[in-house]
Amino acid sequence: MDFSEHDISHFREKGISPEKVEQQIEIFKRGNIVVNIREAATVKNGILAFSEEQKKQLTELYESRKDDLNLLKFVPASGAATRMFKAFYNLLKEFDPENDDLDEYIDQKNEQSLEVFFNRIKDLPFYGEVKERAAKANPGYEDMPQDRQQYLFVKYMLEEDGLNLGDQPKGLVPFHKYEDHLASAFEEHLVEAIDYAASGKKVRIHFTVAKEHREKFEDEARQVVPRLEQETGYKFEISYSYQDPKTDTVAVTRENEAFRDENGQIFFRPGGHGALIQNLNEQDADLIFIKNIDNVVIPKNRELMASYKKMLGGKLLQLQEKVFRYLEQLERGASEDKLQEMAAFLQKELNAGLSVNFEDLNEKEKPSVIKKLLNRPLRVCGMVKNEGEPGGGPFWVTHKNGEISLQIVESAQIDHENYQQSKIANEATHFNPVDIVCSTKDYHGGIFYLDTYVDEDTSFIANKTKDGKELKALELPGLWNGGMARWNTIFVEVPVETFNPVKTVADLLKSSHQVQ
C-alpha cells in the first residue's frame, strides 16, 4: 500500500513503522482465525478443585513466604464509565418527560437494567448526592411527577452540572456506600490488596489508566491513601502506566483500505487490553495478582475472597519451586529417569503438551525440549462456575502444530457455525473472571520477554464506527487469552462470591455490592 509522506510522518509520531501498518492491514484481509477448541476444561479435566485441607496447606505456604517476596497487584483500569450508563444516555436522548410514560418506555426498550435501576434507585451508593443536586437545581423537585423526577435524576447522575459519572473513569465511580463516605472501585482495590498482596506492611499496586485520567486517579489517591494508611497501618506504593501509542492499531474500511478521518489522516485505535502485556512486562515483582477494576467485594465477602487469592498464590509458589528445581537439575545434567519425571510433571501438572515424537528424541534433544517448556511465565487462574456472564472460558485447545494446551478462549474466537465447535462451547461449565496470580521471572531472577509468549494469530477484528462511518478495528491478542497463550497455565475453581463485576450501573444494586 502506498503511504504519503504525511502518513509516514504520522506513523513515526506514534512509533509505528509502515511495515507494521501493512502487516495489520493484511490481517484484516485474512480475517479472524478461529481457535480449535478440543473440549471444555472441567473439574478433574483441566480445572483443579481443592479440598479444605489442600486449600489450608496452600494458604499456609503462601503466608509463610509472602513477606520475603516482592508482591504487586496489577489492575487494568483504563476503561471509561460510559458503557456502564449506555441505556441511560439513550433515555436522555429519547425520553420526553413532559409527554412520555416511563413504564411504557422501559417496556418498549425491554431493557432490564432500567427496570431494576428505577425500582431500587434509593439503594444506589450515590443516590443522596444525585438527588441533592437535582433538587437544588430544580425548585419543586419533590412535588414533580415521578417520571419527571426520575428523568432529572438520570440527568444529574450523568451530566456535568451533576455528578458527571458518565465522564469519569470506571475506577472512580462510587461503588459502595459506607456510613461516613462513598468508596470508589479504586479505593476498594487498595483495601482488599492489604488482605492478600501485602508484603510486610507495604502494599504495591499498579493501575493502567488512560493518560487523560491519570490526574483524576492521583487526586483520588490524595483523598483516600492518608486515611487508609492511618486506619490500617499499611503503606501504599501506587504506580500508573498508559497503553503505549505504539500498540495502537490501524482501522480500515469495509473494503480493507486504511480508514481516514475527516481531516484525511489515517485513523488508529487503541489495541485493546492485549496491549497491556507490555505494561505487565515492565513490572518488577516476584508474584503479580491481576484483577479487573470493576471486580471488587464488600467487607462481608473480603475474607473469603482473600483466602482464595492466597490459595492461588500458594499453588503458584508450589509449582514454581518444582519448576526451578528441575531447571537447575537440567543445567547440571539429568538422568533418563529424571527426564521422564520432568516430562510427566509437564503433562500432568503444568498441562504442557509434549510433541508426539518426544520418546523418539535423543539424549541431547529431550533436555532441550523439556527446558523450553519449563522455562516459561507461569500463571494460576481462578475459574468460577458459569452463571451466564459474557466472556471467556477455559478450554483444551488443539494448535496448528498438533500440540494441546489449556487456554482461556473468548466466545468471539469460536466458530459457532461449526456444529461440533458450538457443541463443545456449550459444554463449558466455568467462566474466566480474570482472577490471576502470575510470575514473569525465570529461575535466574530475570524477567521474561512476554511478547515471545503471545499467539499473534488470536488478534480479533471488530466492527466499529467513527464520525458516523463504519470501520473495522483490530484488537491485539487479549491480555489473559492470546496474550498469555504460551504461558504455563493452571486453572483452579474458586467460588462465584469472589467475582462481582459491574458492567452496568444496575449491577451496583446486587446484594454483592450492598454494604448495609
Instruction: Kindly report, residue by residue over 494-511, the tens digit of the pLDDT.
Output: 999 999 999 999 999 999
Distance CA 153, CA 159 (A): 10
Q: What are phi and psi of 267, to 5 degrees?
A: -95, 130
Residue 402 — pLDDT band, cuts 50, 70, 90?
Answer: confident
Q: What is the pLDDT of residue 31?
A: 87
Chain centroid to Cα 3, Å, comes to 35
Distance CA 330, CA 368 (A): 9
pLDDT tens for each residue of 168-177: 999 999 999 9
Do residues 17 and 244 lie in contact, with contact meaning Cβ atoms separated by under 8 Å? no
Q: What is the pLDDT of residue 200?
A: 92
Whether residue 492 is predicted with pLDDT greater than 90 in this model: the reply is: yes
Whether residue 105 is predicted with pLDDT greater than 70 in this model: the reply is: yes
DSSP structure class, residue 35: P
Distance CA 449, CA 282 (A): 10
As a whole number, the mean pLDDT across the chain is 92
Q: What is the pLDDT of residue 163?
A: 93
Q: What is the pLDDT of residue 278?
A: 95
Residue 429 — pLDDT band, cuts 50, 70, 90?
Answer: very high
Residue 389 — pLDDT band, cuts 50, 70, 90?
Answer: low
Domains of the chain from N-terminus onward = 5-80+169-318+427-513 (3.90.550.10), 82-167 (no CATH)
Average pLDDT over residues 69-97: 92
Q: What is the pLDDT of residue 466?
A: 83
Residue 309 — pLDDT band, cuts 50, 70, 90?
Answer: very high
Q: Which residue has the higher pLDDT, 69 or 361?
A: 69
Chain centroid to Cα 121, Å, comes to 29
Helix (H, G, I), strand (E, B) or coil at 138: coil
pLDDT tens for each residue of 313-325: 999 999 999 999 9
The β-bridge partners of 231 are none
Do residues 410 and 460 lie in contact, with contact meaning Cβ atoms separated by under 8 Å? yes
pLDDT tens for each residue of 118-141: 999 999 999 999 999 999 999 999
Whether residue 353 is predicted with pLDDT greater than 80 in this model: the reply is: no
What percent of the chain is predicted at pLDDT more than 90? Answer: 76
